[in-house]
Structure 1
């Protein structure tokens, strides 16, 4: 009889221990599943993009609203040139010819410069997004190149630095220069207190 009681007690203890281990295993499995679900959820929230495109000949990311200034040289008609990066990362610029306003691939923009030319990347302290949106939307409206067209509201008759100033003025209510309705030189855009130099890239 004593042996039977001892055997029953042993079986009872084994049952209690086994149940505890089983419940612990199930709890651990449940916790692991929760962690895996959280990881999958976090992975789904991660952006699919891997970053903005880079400027040619550099490791610098492009941002819509960046202003590009090219120093004076043969490839810029000896007067310098300015342009603005659009929302699609093409370069929005006004050049001689018809139509004057043209979206240009960054590779083409850098490629037409002579080796050794310096291209300065400037970034606005505010208003870059609005300026990029305005420039992208209105670049095709610049039909003729005219350095004597000083009216900031006239898009059709335009030139490079006026167009950049217009983008910030109309797109973000930001005046890059002090006198908005007069001749705006590329060098004035570069020296604007509303822009800061990010990098200078050498054309190859």
Structure 2
């Protein structure tokens, strides 16, 4: 089984990768989701939707950055499958507040959508639904989710 770089942690579909606020994340933080094929899927300003192997994903961060590995206790495979199936639906990286809009998307909304569409689970812990309006989902809200637990972290070394 594939492991996260520099760790003994097995990669699993549905894992969420969280990076704190730093120069690498434009000081807002970043989240991505692992798919069934163990590729990493994320909305990105220069993407707009990106599919990368774990090594390429980690290499996009600065030396010394830490990427937290978060996992849903009873699995997240279907969220990873949803992300793979919809990453190319993103047309523009944009902080759109319509939570059901996949075409206009940003990192944390895309990861949130993967879980809400796959399991009807709000991983922001804010009782949001696809019909909720006039709101954003931030990376730290996903990091702090009661529905995900920290498995460990990847320390970026270059």
- TM-score, normalised to structure 2, is 0.91
In structure 1, the residue matched to 2:70 is 122
CA shift digits 1:43-87 (9 cap, x unpaired): xxxxxxxxx211112221100000000011111101110000011
Whole-angstrom CA distance in 2 between matches of 1:155 and 1:194: 22
- TM-score, normalised to structure 1, is 0.71
Structure 2 residue 98 is the aligned partner of structure 1 residue 151: yes
Q: Does the residue aligned with 1:119 lie in a helix, a strand or coil?
A: strand
Long gaps (5+) in structure 1: 1-51
C-alpha RMSD over aligned residues: 1.2
CA shift digits 1:113-167 (9 cap, x unpaired): 11110100000124501111111110110110111x1212110000000000000
Structure 2 residue 137 is the aligned partner of structure 1 residue 184: yes
Long gaps (5+) in structure 2: none
Whole-angstrom CA distance in 2 between matches of 1:108 and 1:116: 16
Question: How many residues are matched?
Answer: 151
Q: Which runs of 4+ in 1 moved over 6 A?
A: none
More helix by share: 1
In structure 1, the residue matched to 2:30 is 81
Larger radius of gyration: 1
Q: Is the 8 A contact 2:15 2:33 kept in 1?
A: yes
**Which has the higher relative contact order, 1 or 2, with Cα contacts under 8 A spaced 6 or more apart?**
2
Match 1:142 to one of 84, 90, 114: 90
